[in-house]
Every structure is written in structure tokens, then in C-alpha cells.
Amino acid sequence: MVLFPLALVSAGFPGFVAAICMTIFELPFWRRWGMKGVAEWQVSAVIVSLLRRKFTRRRALTWMSVSMHLFHGAALGVVFRLLLLGLFGTTILSSLVLSYAIVYSILLWIISPFLTRKFFETSGGFRMTRNGLAVSFLSHIVYGISLGLLTPVID
């Protein structure tokens, strides 16, 4: 099945909204601990900084990190939809989508920031704290719940 641009947007929308829910959950921790309190924003800051180094030596600003974070949420929403289609075809039980989305979000957390932690710490010149990783894990659960609840509604 070939996805057209409108289908990609509709697949990315639940991921984008789930990333907004995740970001809202992360805001109090960012206010309390700064960037150290939100591992995803640290990872996004490194990605933005690496991309910007081609043009300037300045570091990423917070809004750039959050924007990259939201973009990733939308893109990963598309990946989730493609996985559902690939695994189950057109028949998807909406009662199971929530479970799949939570498992998917935990797998995302394991991949990044957990397994890629050293790479981003070295590239970004910072250290991810336990608090930041804990907030990251919980916010991934928020992402999974939001994605799982939104995906059946959009289909």
C-alpha cells in the first residue's frame, strides 16, 4: 500500500498530538531542573546543534529542541501506523492499539535516550541525569497512551 501525502499527515497527526501531551507532561520538570530534567530535549538539542554546526557555531535554543521533539513525535506516529499496517494489514482491533502503542513507546525509550545515551552525552558535552531519564521514561508512557488513544479515532 502506497501512502499519499494526506495519509501521511493523518498518520502523523496522532504522533504530533501525543508529542504535545508528552511535552506538557515534561514542562514542570523542565521548569524545576532545566534541560537536565528532560532527556528528550537534551537529545533534540544535540541533533539541532549538529545540524546547525554546518551553518553556525551557536548552540540550539530551547524552542528549537522542543520543535525537533514535536517533529520526531509526528514522524514516529507515521512509523507506528506503518508498523500496524505491516503487522496487521487493514484489520486492527482498536482495543489492542493502546497496548501496542505503550509497548512501542517503551521500545522508543530503550532506543533513545537509553541505548544512545553515551553517544548524545559525548556529542553534546553533557550528562543525562537519572531524573532526566526517569522523566523521559514516564513521558514516553504518556506518549504511548496518547498515541494509542488517538490512533483508532483517526482511522
Q: Mind listing the pLDDT tens digit for each residue in 60-119? A: 566 777 788 899 999 999 999 888 887 776 566 677 889 999 999 999 999 988 888 788
- Predicted local distance difference test score (pLDDT) of residue 56: 60
Q: Is the model's pLDDT at 152 over the cut of 80? A: no
Report the alpha-carbon distance of residue 138 to residue 155 in Å, rounded: 26
155 compared with 28, residue with greater pLDDT: 28
- Report the predicted TM-score, pTM, of the whole model to 2 decimal places: 0.84
DSSP 155: -
Q: Taking the domains of the chain in order of start, what are their residue ranges?
A: 5-154
* Residues in contact with 146: Cβ distance below 8 Å, sequence separation at least 6, in sequence order: 14, 17, 18, 21, 22
- Predicted local distance difference test score (pLDDT) of residue 8: 72
Arithmetic mean of pLDDT over the chain = 83
